[in-house]
Structure 1
């Protein structure tokens, strides 16, 4: 058991080192990396597609990496925006790691990119513990998922710089209690901004884009108090809700809203 814990801590420590180096490299190129985390079915692909299309329409240089265990469906959907898009297939791994992002960017990153959006694997457990070198971490949740989601996944919501509520057009039908949700978010992440969105109606799209653009010029205005890993690097909260990541082979989505 101790050996398993040691291996996990070593993997996280190595990832943190690579993420910090990648963040520095991107900062020198004036590129902001925005990491989007959510459960499957939250509508993050639809929302990201709308954000990319809005940026392209404004002549803003954005690009996207999207990760899935299999298929390139999301990359094809996002490419309709007109933005440069690449797919990362994780071959069964339930999260992205910094080395996977860095490897892809070594051979692909459009010149002049201001914001690189990374759509992580649909999962609120494993991805929450892996820093990708992001400037901004956005955690999304659909109104259909339940107000207690932040309490069930405190690592994900507790490490967010921005929380985005999706599919707000379904809030009444789903019986979504927004006040309870906001209270639960702020229990695990006091002060974090919460943005309401409805991708189909375009609500909140500009706000998400503006938050991503502002991250390029400065650190997010909200920086949650992250607890350190046991190995002492201090980039992420303690992995309170994680399962054993090494149950998977270790090299390192969403219906429309």
Structure 2
């Protein structure tokens, strides 16, 4: 008798175990993880750089890990803030996983770190399915991406504990419909908070840091473990996370104990140093 095994479900289940363990470990040492998800070009690196600078000014012990398919550009930018930064190059993998994150934190993350910001790979599909052991999951979308973005990516926005709109300084120029965007967010994630920000003008800068700190101390409304994305994807009835084409679903059922991903640590100076 043949037994059908759902590889995607098995991969996610393994990730969930690793995420649970990593969350427990980091919580015990007093570190809250903020998982940042967005499409490429949303402006999350620019906003994160401002938040890191503010954290340093307020003497909050913070670090950042940024993942990308290639280049160390984001880490070099973030290192200008003067906080510990590490770049993880995924060599084509479209998301981070809990075991990967734990491996890259081992021996690098300062023991007194209060907040760790993780800038996930620019992608609203694959990263949404993987719990990283975070304390706060944030989805960012720029005003240029359209008001229907939450409806197109219901799993990413549906699992968000905070939604951040970026580049509001050009909202009028692109005819951004704020009310329409908020309504669509509420359709997929009723009650979730939406913040408006602009890294250029400073609007809303510091709000992400405040929300992250409140979660880290256990006082924030978003301080809960994210719903497992595999279950959420089935519940919302959308096949987009499995890339449905012509009625067929093609899921990412990779076996992801990757040894080929590697990291680059940046010193507090804007100079990348390969480990």
The verdict on a shared fold, with TM-score over 0.5 as the criterion, is yes
Return the offset for 1:203. Answer: 1.3
Deviation, 1:227, is: 6.2
- Give matches, 1:103-182, under 5 Å: 103-182=103-182
Secondary structure of the corresponding residue to residue 200 of structure 1:
coil
The structure number with the bigger radius of gyration is: 2
Other-structure match for 1:245: 252
CA contact (8 A) 1:158 1:237 kept: no
1:223 and 1:113, CA in 2 relative to 1: closer, same or farther beyond 3 A? Answer: closer
CA shift digits 1:208-245 (9 cap, x unpaired): 11001111111641479976566xxx6x5437421321
Assess if the C-alpha contact under 8 Å between 1:159 and 1:237 holds in 2. Answer: no
Change beyond 3 A, Cα 1:222–1:109:
closer
Kept after mapping to 1: 8 A contact 2:97/2:130 = yes
Distance 1:227 1:116, change over 3 A: closer
* Unmatched 5+ stretches in structure 2: 243-250, 259-275
Q: How big is the shift at 1:100?
A: 0.7
How far 1:107 sits from its partner (Å)? 1.9
* Deviant stretches of 4+, over 2 Å: 222-230, 236-241, 248-252
Structure 1, unaligned runs of 5 or more: 253-257
| Local SS of the residue matching 2:6 | helix
Give yes or no for the alignment of 1:65 onto 2:65. yes
How many residue pairs get matched?
245
Separation in 2 of the partners of 1:210 and 1:162?
A: 12
Say which SS state the counterpart of residue 82 (structure 1) adopts. Answer: coil
Q: TM-score w.r.t. structure 2 length?
A: 0.84
Of Structure 1 and Structure 2, the greater helix share is in: 1
Cα distance, 1:219–1:150 mapped onto 2, change above 3 Å? farther
| TM value normalised by structure 1 | 0.90
